[in-house]
Every structure is written in C-alpha cells, then in structure tokens.
Amino acid sequence: MTNQDEINRWTKLAETITDGNWLDSDLICPKCQSPMIVFSYTRNVPPRYGLFIRCMSCKALRHFSLGNKPPNFRDDLVLPEYQKLENEAIRFASE
C-alpha cells in the first residue's frame, strides 16, 4: 500500500525533474531510498506531456501526466521504450 508520505515524495521527485535543478539533485526512490532512478519524458496528445520515473532497484514505476511542456523537457530525455508505453496508453484511452 502506498502511504501519503510516499505519494508526496513521488510528487516532489517529479517536480524536481520537471521544474527543478535535477542535475544537481540527488534523485532518490520514494519507496526504497535507492539512488538508481531512471526517468523519461514522453509526448502525449498536444499540449500534454508525460513523465515516467522508474527505480531500477525496487522496480517501482510511476507515470505523471503533465498539462504543458515541462521547463526541463529535452528531446534526448525521451526514451523510446517509455514513449511506446505512453503511446499504448493514449491508444487505450481513445478507444
């Protein structure tokens, strides 16, 4: 079960990645405190974007739906495997 503290930490982590100084921040898994965090932006139906965060240690995966282009968005931070997941979610939602 995900408690409120953990949910808050996921939200904070997502904000650090999208709006904060993520290169100088320690990205720590909200669930297991591991630093093995991988993230990917995704392109959704305009103007929406997505953000996936995965912990390579405990395998936790979270998806955030963003209403606008995040300030820290970069094309090289869009990983094909996560864009594929987003595309499948978009297709599922439109059926």
Query: For binding to Zn ion (CB under 5 A), which residues are involved?
Result: 29, 31-32, 34, 55, 57-58, 60
Helices and strands (H, E) in the chain, number of each type: 2, 3
Nearer CB in complex with Zn ion: 13/29: 29
- Output 13 or 49, the one with its CB closest to Zn ion: 13
Q: How far is the CB of 52 from Zn ion (least distance, A)?
A: 14
Instruction: Report how far residue 29's alpha carbon sits from residue 61's, in angstroms, rounded to the nearest whole number.
Output: 10
* Angle (nearest 5°) at CA 7 between 51 and 28: 65
Structure tokens at 31: 């669930």
Spatial CB neighbours of 67, under 8 Å, sequence gap ≥ 6: 47, 48
CB of 54 to Zn ion, least distance (A): 9
Q: Which is nearer to Zn ion, 27 or 78 (CB)?
A: 27
**What is the sign, positive or negative, of the torsion defined by CA atoms of 33, 35, 41, 94?**
negative
Q: How far is the CB of 57 from Zn ion (least distance, A)?
A: 5
In whole angstroms, the minimum distance from the beta carbon of 37 to Zn ion comes to 8
Residue number, 28 or 89, with CB nearest to Zn ion: 28
